[in-house]
Structure formats: C-alpha cells, structure tokens
C-alpha cells in the first residue's frame, strides 16, 4: 500500500523560529513536492525535487527552502517563521516517467505561527 507520511499533523511555532517539516515516501518515487493549501487559493507549489540533492522552485518559494539528502525524504524548512506562513502544508510524491503518473499525498501538516 502506497504511503506518504509527514512528521506532524499539527504544529505551533513562534515568529522567528526555524521550522522543519519532514516528508517520507515508501514508493521509490523520483519526484517529491511541497504545496501550501489556503482557503480559496487551492494548492500552490512551493518547491519540488526530481532527484536526490536536486530541487526546483515552484510558484511561492520565498521564505522557504528544501532539502533532499535521501530519495525517500524531502524536508521543507522555514528559516524564520512568520505569521503569514500559517497554513496547511501538503507533501506529495510521484514517479518521474509515465504519462499516467499521479501524485500521492501525505496527510498534511497544519502549521500555526504565533
């Protein structure tokens, strides 16, 4: 059974803190993604990675960085959390090739920055 897991379901941090969100997939997928989900805006891509140590910016990378040291793990880092980063964060993964490649999602992390 395919699985994408995220380190926390709920997280509360203070402004200025460094925040790590971790995502692990067990499907040997090449691609991994971080999205931010906000009401009325749908899902917006922050960063994605198509291989270990490779990353590309999505639509809203400002204020975020990522790390992929192992194929199965993709981390999202908020260097200095701000209140406007309060949101739901979704991780996803997919195979690189294959025209039918769907993205598989994790359960999400609801981050609140006070």
Partner 1 sequence: AQTVTQSQPEMSVQEAETVTLSCTYDTSESDYYLFWYKQPPSRQMILVIRQEAYKQQNATENRFSVNFQKAAKSFSLKISDSQLGDAAMYFCAYRRGGNNNDMRFGAGTRLTVKP
For 83-94, the DSSP string reads GGG-EEEEEEEE
* Smallest separation, CB 17 to partner 1 (Å): 25
Site for partner 1 contains 11 (CB under 8 A): no
Query: Is residue 84 within the footprint of partner 1 (CB under 8 A)?
Result: no
For the CA atoms of 19, 70, 35, 88, what is the dihedral angle to 10 degrees? -40
Decide if residue 97 touches partner 1 (CB under 8 A). yes
Contact residues for partner 1 (CB under 8 A)? 4, 31, 33, 35, 40-45, 48, 50, 56, 90, 94, 96-97, 99-100, 102-103, 105-108
């Amino acid at each position: 059974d395919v699985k994408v897991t995220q380190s926390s379901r709920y997280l509360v941090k203070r402004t200025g803190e460094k925040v790590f969100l971790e995502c692990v997939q067990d499907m040997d997928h090449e691609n991994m993604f971080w999205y931010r989900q906000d009401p009325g805006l749908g899902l917006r891509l922050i960063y994605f990675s198509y291989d270990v140590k490779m990353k590309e910016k999505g639509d809203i990378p400002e204020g975020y960085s990522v790390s992929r040291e192992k194929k199965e793990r993709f981390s999202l880092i908020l260097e200095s959390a701000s209140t406007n980063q309060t949101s739901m964060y979704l991780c996803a993964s997919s195979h690189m090739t294959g025209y039918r490649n769907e993205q598989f999602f994790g359960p999400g992390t609801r981050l609140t920055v006070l």
